[in-house]
Structure 1
Amino acid sequence: MTAPITGRRPRLLYLAFYFPPSRASGVYRPRATANRLAELGWDVTVFAAPLPFLYETIGSVDDELLGTIDPRVTLVRPDLNRYLWQSDVRDYSRFRGAFPHLAEAVYEWGQQHVFPERYASWARASVRRALRMHARRRFDAVLATGNPFASFGAAWAFHKLTRTPYVIDYRDSWTLDQFTEKPRFDDDHPAWRWERRVLESAASSLFVNDAQLSWHAERYPRAADRMMTVLNGWDADTLPATAEPPPAARAGASEGAPRFAFVGTVTAEQPIEPLVEGFARAREHPGTARAVLDFYGYFGFFKDAGDRLRGRFAAAAEPEEDGELAPGVRHRGPVPKTALADVYRDADVLVFLNGGGRYVTSGKIFEYMAAGRPIVSVHTPGSAAEELLRDYPLWFNPGGLDPADIAASMVAAAKAAAGLDDRQVAQARAHADRFERTVALEPLVRRLTELVGRTPEAG
């Protein structure tokens, strides 16, 4: 385990657009990374999204997350041109209002010839701000996480201007569609040129699973020897040190009424309909006749996505009671990360509803394992999470999306939950301990420490 830094603290510029209070799915990895590095003695400055964008433009925030950031972390929020998100003419700049067609042409030219992403203005503002800060007190290394991938472009530009080494962290893939498993862009799209540029100049590039790394290594062989897999993990500050048996295994649990739970964000890529039908079939079994399935979290990442996603539940099976998404299926609403321990404690079985295949590793699966609960997989075969779950002793895998197989797995998981004892839960938690966040981040911490090369001079 990396030892804490002594002497003058190495100074890190961390380009992490989605950072608390954002509630984007990838926010927890940057949150944990910044906190861990600050704990180890690094001087961490995070460049993140401007607050008006989070609160007014996309309406996607969790205010309680801000309270979980180490107070030693410095937060800076460079400007973002919200051109593409503006629909009210009253929000237009004077130039855009007077010359709308010219403004559009200028914007499109920038996408093609400067940087091919709508967050490019934030990257430019970040480089300008970083250069001013660097002139006063230099940064020793840069860490950039994507998406957005404008953070990679900013890290590259800052490196070219200052020779400061940088590491890029692929929370998601830029040019690979992880759900269709096909290239995201045409061959002549400028994203390919930019990706090659930033990868070949980076000191290291990080990927959340081996399949993602292999795809990029094949396409960018000149950068392959500096690629690393750094898994996601679960956060010890939001879960108890040990897990206990589920309610169904405790005295007084109601027969035939196990509590299934999904925790996370519901998205359009997830196989909602097979889950709803599978759960309905599971309720035909006497042991799960009065089972409930609770959804904790948001429906979509943006404020206008909820109704469409809720409609998919109702289309799969009409709800029987007010407040239900489908028979026995309820939306309990978002839960602050600081309150997750109670949700996991009160669940008997956790449902891992996931979109995508071998390139997608959901961060939630690590929390699920740490909760010490039976886990039912609902995703296509070959998901990257399967490799992590393979040795988890309470994994119930339907092997696909056939509702009959999902139902059988749910019934079996509910039966297992009712018979769990402390020893079995401890075994499940022991498997999860391999993925506790400080353990998972250790390769990144080591690499950044190597880049600094030494404890900088005292001062």
Structure 2
Amino acid sequence: MKKKVLIISYYWPPSGGPGVQRWLKFVKYLPEFHIDPIVYIPEAPNYPLVDESLVSEIPNNVTVLKYPIKEPYKLAGLFSKKSSKTISKGIIPDYKKQSFIEKVMLYIRGNFFIPDARIGWVKPSVVYLSKYILENNIDTIITTGPPHSLHLIGLQLKKDLGVEWLADFRDPWTTIGYHKQLKLTKASKEKHKVLEKKVLNTASQIIVTSFTTKKEFQEITSQPIEVITNGYDYETTTAFELDSKFSIAHIGSLLSKRNPDVLWSVLSDLRKENDDFLKDFQLNFIGAVSVDVLESIRNNDLSDCVNEVGYVSHKEAIACQKKSQVLLLIEIDSEDTKCIIPGKLFEYMVSNRPIMAIGPNGSDVEKIIKETNTGVYFNYDDYESLKTTILEHYKAFKNKSLQSHPIGLQKYSRKQLTQQLVALIKK
């Protein structure tokens, strides 16, 4: 007999973006390990990104429960549709460039909705799920955040029903970079910390996606913490011809703080110094790009080589990765972001294309890239190293020999990661 597990998530197809991939793939493989996943999601949510192609990936036999949710971003859209949509995607403009409406919206979001804008879904979800859990003899639940308000559903269900509760953190809570942009009052910051501590000390098992987050949480709780990273799935895609241009591609949102001036400076100098490079080079952006990044690119005279594609479906994103000559991964240069391992990293790693990653020194991304031999990692001041590497890649491109040489990727496959999860569920 299969063990039933209730998974409480905000992101689920047709939601697009990286947040949906992790649990969609776990749900795909759990039945192979005699686990029957039941997914609980909001009805008619206000997803910032939509990817209808992901709906076809939902297993036919999975039970999906839905309950209505009131979304404050819909109300905010009455005042400024553009600002509410941009902020809900996580693209927060630099403070000096924020409009009055944006500043007000960020203050309200940060101080009136703690821990986040989905807090209003907690109480009705607890009532609905309490009845369902008892009627269906479910003894294990999993909450995944962000939004971290979903962990408060788990907290109350654990308290009321005594169920086993696994709290999955795809990102950290109080140390996540954007907290500093939410204009939190001292009281609001303290409330976040209190809730975070309560969740971490009540969950039966904590799951995190990075080694740095595990270390951070170990300072707050003695509850067991397991690292289960994101990963890659075997995508059935046709063979693609590589770009004829020497393309460097960034897939995913490029936020204001992810703006490596050193890279734009290197590329600008290479175009000035090398006529062939000037003719061959192309910079592809697949996903939302902040105006601050585009302005920096314009200031470095690179606008004419930019191909801004915008958001595409996950399937199209995979195709873009496989066609690109070089894949670019950028993280904010901060202590707070050392723990961030973007889900796309693992798809990058199996694309057979070399990765150039830029971020803070000593990050988890740096560790994984070096361990798997899938690319080169740089800090924000590595001008000479960046320039040398790009020239080496360009020379290999001209010789038609540019590719990556990965090692040890199997442990990051979605099926193998699901096996790790099953061990925790059956513990």
TM-score (norm 1): 0.75
Report the CA distance shift for 1:353/1:285 in structure 2 as closer, same or farther (over 3 A): farther
- Structure with larger Rg: 1
Structure 1 Cα separation of the partners of residues 133 and 4 of structure 2: 10
1:61 aligns with 2:50: yes
1:262 aligned residue (242, 250, 268)? 250
1:10 aligns with 2:10: no
SS of the residue corresponding to residue 415 of structure 1 reads: helix
Q: Relative CO higher for 1 or 2, CA cutoff 8 Å, sep ≥ 6?
A: 1
Counterpart contact for 1:353–1:378, Cα < 8 Å: yes
Match of 1:247 in 2: 242
Match of 2:327 in 1: 350
SS of the residue corresponding to residue 37 of structure 2 reads: strand
Match of 1:44 in 2: 37
Deviation by residue 1:13-52 (Cα, 9 ceiling, x = unmatched): 1111122222243221121122221343322221223324
What is the one-letter code of the residue matched to 1:247?
L
Structure 2 Cα separation of the partners of residues 181 and 227 of structure 1: 26
Structure 1 Cα separation of the partners of residues 307 and 325 of structure 2: 15
Q: How far did 1:315 drift?
A: 4.2
1:316 aligned residue (289, 297, 306)? 297
Q: How far did 1:122 drift?
A: 1.1
Name which of structure 1's ranges 150-159 and 23-32 shifts more when overlaid on structure 2: 23-32
1:368 aligns with 2:357: no
What is the one-letter code of the residue matched to 1:313?
L
Counterpart contact for 2:210–2:364, Cα < 8 Å: yes
Report the CA distance shift for 1:159/1:115 in structure 2 as closer, same or farther (over 3 A): farther
Q: How far did 1:157 drift?
A: 0.9
* 1:126-145 alignment, distance < 5 Å: 126-145=125-144
Match of 1:214 in 2: 215
Match of 1:282 in 2: 270
Match of 1:330 in 2: 307
* 1:429-444 alignment, distance < 5 Å: 430-444=407-421
Counterpart contact for 1:123–1:150, Cα < 8 Å: yes
Counterpart contact for 1:279–1:406, Cα < 8 Å: no
Counterpart contact for 2:264–2:300, Cα < 8 Å: no
1:123 aligns with 2:116: no
1:193 aligns with 2:194: yes
Q: How far did 1:258 drift?
A: 1.3
Pairs aligned (count)? 390
Identical-pair percentage: 20
Structure 1 Cα separation of the partners of residues 217 and 25 of structure 2: 25
Match of 1:74 in 2: 63
SS of the residue corresponding to residue 142 of structure 2 reads: strand
Name which of structure 1's ranges 257-266 and 284-293 shifts more when overlaid on structure 2: 284-293
Deviation by residue 1:108-135 (Cα, 9 ceiling, x = unmatched): 9xx88x9643322212222122122123
Q: How far did 1:326 drift?
A: 1.5
Structure 2 Cα separation of the partners of residues 329 and 84 of structure 1: 32
* 1:178-189 alignment, distance < 5 Å: 178=177, 186=186, 189=190
Structure 2 Cα separation of the partners of residues 413 and 76 of structure 1: 49
Name which of structure 1's ranges 81-90 and 430-439 shifts more when overlaid on structure 2: 81-90
**Which consecutive residues of structure 1, in runs of 5 or more, have no partner in the other structure?**
1-6, 91-107, 300-308, 451-459
Structure 1 Cα separation of the partners of residues 116 and 66 of structure 2: 18
Structure 2 Cα separation of the partners of residues 333 and 89 of structure 1: 25
Counterpart contact for 1:262–1:352, Cα < 8 Å: yes
**Which consecutive residues of structure 2, in runs of 5 or more, have no partner in the other structure?**
80-107
Counterpart contact for 2:40–2:64, Cα < 8 Å: yes
Report the CA distance shift for 1:52/1:204 in structure 2 as closer, same or farther (over 3 A): closer
Q: How far did 1:70 drift?
A: 1.2
Counterpart contact for 1:351–1:375, Cα < 8 Å: yes
* 1:361-440 alignment, distance < 5 Å: 361-419=341-399, 425=404, 427-428=405-406, 430-440=407-417
Counterpart contact for 1:211–1:359, Cα < 8 Å: yes
What is the one-letter code of the residue matched to 1:314?
E
Structure 2 Cα separation of the partners of residues 156 and 180 of structure 1: 22
